[in-house]
């Protein structure tokens, strides 16, 4: 899908305003002349400034162009179905990861995506399990970011 830079710039500008307003609510740091909101405020100002430039340039170039135009892949039923399936599986993970856990959900999601792409079940299963173990190791052991344990809470290290 092609979206006009005017629309994209407006969305980025809205994000910049939101970040700027939120950053003003962050508490000051004791003994410092700047607070926790200093860096987010700077980022918001930069994003807002570049968003305005993006909108202005796109408005000058527009000359009858469409605001939104579907890309070729969005017209293909199988590709659009794959995209919607991926979005649906992300939502499944968001809503059920605490209850079911990262490991079972990750393996199931990867297997479904591999099946949809036509990958053989055995190959897909091996890749799904290896990828899940690698991600679990990277987050839990290396980055010290615990992933939801869910059903495996009593069994994981």
Write the pLDDT tens digit of every residue in 99-124. Answer: 999 999 999 999 999 999 999 999 99
The residue among 95, 139, 93 whose CA lies nearest residue 112 is: 93
Tens digits of residue pLDDT in 44-97: 999 999 999 999 998 888 766 777 777 777 778 888 899 999 999 999 999 999
Cα–Cα distances in angstroms (integers) from residue 41 to residues 3, 27, 32, 35, in the given order: 27, 13, 16, 10
Q: Which pLDDT band, with edges at 50, 70 and 90, does 156 fall under?
A: low
The span from the CA of 147 to the CA of 97, in Å, is 9
Specify the pLDDT at position 35.
Answer: 79
Task: Supply the angle between the helices 77-100 and 102-116 in degrees, to the nearest 10.
Answer: 170
**Residues contacting 11, CB < 8 A, separation 6+:** none
């Amino acid at each position: 899908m092609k979206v006009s830079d005017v629309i994209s710039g407006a969305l980025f500008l809205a994000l910049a305003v939101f970040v700027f307003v939120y950053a003003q609510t962050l508490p000051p740091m004791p003994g410092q002349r700047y607070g926790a909101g200093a860096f987010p405020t700077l980022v918001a100002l930069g994003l807002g400034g570049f968003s305005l430039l993006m909108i202005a340039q796109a408005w000058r170039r527009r000359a009858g162009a469409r605001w939104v135009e579907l890309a070729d892949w969005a017209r293909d039923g199988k590709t659009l179905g794959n995209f919607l399936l991926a979005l649906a599986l992300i939502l499944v993970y968001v809503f059920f990861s605490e209850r079911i856990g990262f490991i079972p959900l990750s393996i199931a999601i990867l297997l479904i995506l591999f099946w949809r792409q036509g990958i053989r079940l055995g190959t897909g299963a091996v890749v799904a399990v290896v990828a899940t173990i690698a991600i679990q190791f990277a987050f839990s052991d290396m980055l010290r970011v615990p992933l939801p344990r869910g059903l495996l809470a009593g069994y994981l290290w």
